[in-house]
Structure 1
Amino acid sequence: MIYEKYRKLLEESKPMIQQKPEKTIFSVGARGYYENPTTDLLAFFMNPQEEHGFKTLILESFIECIKLPLGNLETLRKPRREVLTANQKRLDLVLETDSWVMAIENKIYHHQNNPFAEYESHIKKNHSDKEAVFVVLSPEGKAPPEGKAPAIWRAVSYENLINTINTRLDVYLTSNPSTKWVVFLKDFLLNLAQITVKTKMDNEAFKFIEKNYLDVTNLFKLRNEYIETVQAQAVAQLKDLDGWSSVSTKIDEWGTGPAIRLYYNRSVSESNITINLNNDTKDQGHRIIVYVYHKDRQSVKSSDTFIEKNHHNKDTESGTIRYYSSKNRYTSFKDLLPELRETAQAMHNFLNQQNQPTSGV
């Protein structure tokens, strides 16, 4: 059967559905996945002269990942960012000691189509007396494709770097106190780990959708048909109730899933009952939310006695709008229907008693 095929497809897709990641100070700032801030922080932690106190711990970890016996770390100059070549191309990060120089390109999501040969030429021309090392740092740890860069470019994955730093950090903490910089470093590493997972899953999901595009499209159509059916059945449940003979509806897409709005006589009020077909993994189950529009701010709390006691929690108010979220969660739409009817009747009783027009936005 076709539905068995879809069921297997859904099972196959489950590992690619990402859970909400733990917040970091970088993701809160909404720039956690940008290359420039990430490279700035990497340069900061790699610099033994900075106030973090880790000395060469992060630098040694990076060198361990590229498997080269590089010395003279104590002579490292201040890391340089966005180094310009003769053709005004920007090299992400350059490290330099008395005996070697290292060019690092940090690639998070971009394809590796940088002018690698130009970077190499720039480094060798300006540092001809030193050993030159070229590294691409990326979530996957892949070297530039053949033809895009000389074979001398080494590859380091975020995962390898994270694990190497953490191993050395554990040793460091046995003889050093935990400071704010330890917290910041751990948060930085967590952010890199989340980039790694996101990139890996994004790539896998892309391949999965591409392979099963027609079936996924049909599944999406089925999903929309389900939402429309729920909408029609909800309207049918309200038609015989007082005040709900002329129900109008609207479907919104929320972050927690589709929201089906059922309006109580829009010629009188924008008040509505909303069914949220909830897909939030931390708050699973469909729920009912009630929006009551009031004439003015003075009357905004008057609906509490009717709605709040009807299995709902008062959430907040916004201007003249009061809204209430159901305490209950339902895995089946049919199980939700008795509460829907009871809530609709409570809304009618309140608005009928008020007998005053209200308008919404």
Structure 2
Amino acid sequence: MLLENKLKYFEALLESAKKFKQQPREKTFFDTAIRNHYENPTTELLEFFLNPQESHELGDVFWKGFADVVQAELKQDTDVSMGQIERLERECVTHSGNRIDLMLETDSHLLLVEAKIYHHQNNPFDDYVKYAKTRTKGKEILGLILSISGKSEALNWYGISYQQLVNAVRPYLAEQMLSQPMNKWNLFAREFLLHLESYYKIQNLDMNRVQFIFDHYQEIQELQKLKTNTIKEVVEKISQQLNLMIDNYASFTKYESWGGIRFYNHAWGNLTNTTLHIREHKGETIFGVTTYILNLSEELQEEAFQILNCHEDSRLRNWKIEKYKGGAERWLCIYWDSPEPTFEAIEKLILEKARLLDQIEKTLR
């Protein structure tokens, strides 16, 4: 009775945890390329998109959004223009050898932009301004620190956030996409904005979710332990059934780091196996079984399919050939899905395919 009450409590705990389920962030192609080197590529892309004369054909879409953010930060009247861009320089070297991330010159301002992602704001800002004064031509100098927090730690430098920039540029980009829907750079610009937003995946910490974990930490640990022990018992039971149901079957198992659990047979003398794996797909838990056959000749492949009933069994998902060790290992991989998420259905699938696999090993080798 105590165990039954415990299970009911865990059911209620899991139900209450559903509201904290995190939705996966939409990935962009930038995630595949610049994740380990944030600031330089970000500055390069900003320079590219902020320049109305560049080949992106987006005109001043990014510049208008950027200028709106700066004017809002300066609390200037929206009628006061930041001017039109005349020149952009990245990695601008001062007389002292320091580098300004991005310098934008308009017909009225000289904007110094320092782009920060996760680094501290410990740059020689005074030297940046000193150098800018030699280039100003009487224009107003503005120092801007673009960062995740949007805060400036430098005297007389204004802080703006990537999220502010994204929010300001999006409406202009939306208009651009409607007027020129076939422009490929619309997609790249959208991806870049999504990439800038990805910097906030840790900043936007859901404190209710954190508190839920803290409040139920011990119970979650118990639930994890219950899961581990239960899966171990399931594996042991299936191993026992394999030994009982198949002649001369001597089962041994291996837990893979990616979550698969392999059932081998000592009697075969090779690594052919039946593997249980549990995965999530479109919000559902899928219990899958894979038949792995090592170095079976191609001539015998169709016979193996016939024995395993591949052509008739609706549980078959697909199959493929994988080669390792320079082709010395040729694996025939056949994937099955359990029709129901029950122990009986999973056990039946594993035992059935393992028995047929035993037939293959004893007759086709």
Residues in 2 aligned to 1:143 and 1:295: alpha-carbon distance in whole angstroms: 64
Alignment of 1:143-292 (within 5 A): 143-144=151-152, 148-150=153-155, 152-158=157-163, 160-173=164-177, 175-176=179-180, 178-193=182-197, 195-196=198-199, 198-200=201-203, 211=214, 216-243=220-247, 245-254=249-258, 258-265=259-266, 267-281=268-282, 284-292=285-293
Give the superposed CA RMSD. Answer: 3.4
* Distance change in 2, residues 1:83/1:329 (3 Å): farther
Contact 1:287 1:326 in 2 (8 A): yes
Letter in 2 for 1:156: S
1:95-116 deviations in Å (ceiling 9; x for gaps): 22343222333344x2x51314
Structure 2: stretches of 5+ with no match in the other structure = 324-329
Residues 1-361 of structure 1 aligned to structure 2 (within 5 Å): 4=9, 7-8=12-13, 11-12=16-17, 15=20, 17-19=22-24, 21-27=25-31, 29-31=32-34, 34-35=37-38, 36-66=40-70, 67=72, 68=74, 69=76, 71=81, 73-78=83-88, 80-84=89-93, 90-108=99-117, 110=118, 112-116=119-123, 118=124, 120-128=125-133, 129=136, 130-139=139-148, 141-144=149-152, 148-150=153-155, 152-158=157-163, 160-173=164-177, 175-176=179-180, 178-193=182-197, 195-196=198-199, 198-200=201-203, 211=214, 216-243=220-247, 245-254=249-258, 258-265=259-266, 267-281=268-282, 284-307=285-308, 308-309=310-311, 310=313, 311-319=315-323, 320-354=330-364, 356=365
Q: CA deviation at 1:283?
A: 6.0
Stretches of structure 1 lacking an aligned partner (at least 5 in a row): 357-361
Matched-pair contact (CA < 8 Å) for 2:286–2:337 = no
After TM superposition, the score normalised by the length of structure 1 is 0.79
Deviation at 1:270, TM superposition (A): 1.1
Percent sequence identity over matched residues? Answer: 23
Q: CA shift at 1:274, angstroms? A: 0.7
Q: Distance in 2 between matches of 1:153 and 1:210?
A: 38
Deviations 1:232-280 (A, max 9, x none): 22213322121463101011132xxx21111123652211111102234
Q: Which amino acid aligns with 1:149?
A: A
Aligned to 2:327: none
> When the two structures are aligned, how many residues end up with a matched partner?
339
SS at match of 2:285: coil
Shift of 1:298: 4.3
Q: 1:86 to 1:26 in 2, by over 3 A?
A: same
User: Partners of 2:252 and 2:141 in 1: how far apart?
Assistant: 70
- SS of corresponding position for 2:266: coil
CA contact (8 A) 2:276 2:288 kept: yes
Give me the whole-angstrom Cα distance separating, in 1, the residues matched to 2:347 and 2:337: 15
Deviation at 1:186, TM superposition (A): 2.1
TM-score where L is the length of structure 2: 0.78
Is the alpha carbon distance of 1:75 and 1:289 closer, same or farther for their aligned partners in structure 2, counting shifts above 3 Å? Answer: closer
Q: 1:41–1:266: structure 2 CA closer, same or farther, 3 Å change rule?
A: farther
Post-superposition shift, 1:329?
A: 4.5
Distance change >3 Å, CA 137–CA 33, structure 1 → 2: farther
**1:288 corresponds to which letter in structure 2?**
V
- With over 3 angstroms needed to count, the CA separation of the structure-2 counterparts of 1:172 and 1:285, relative to structure 1, is closer
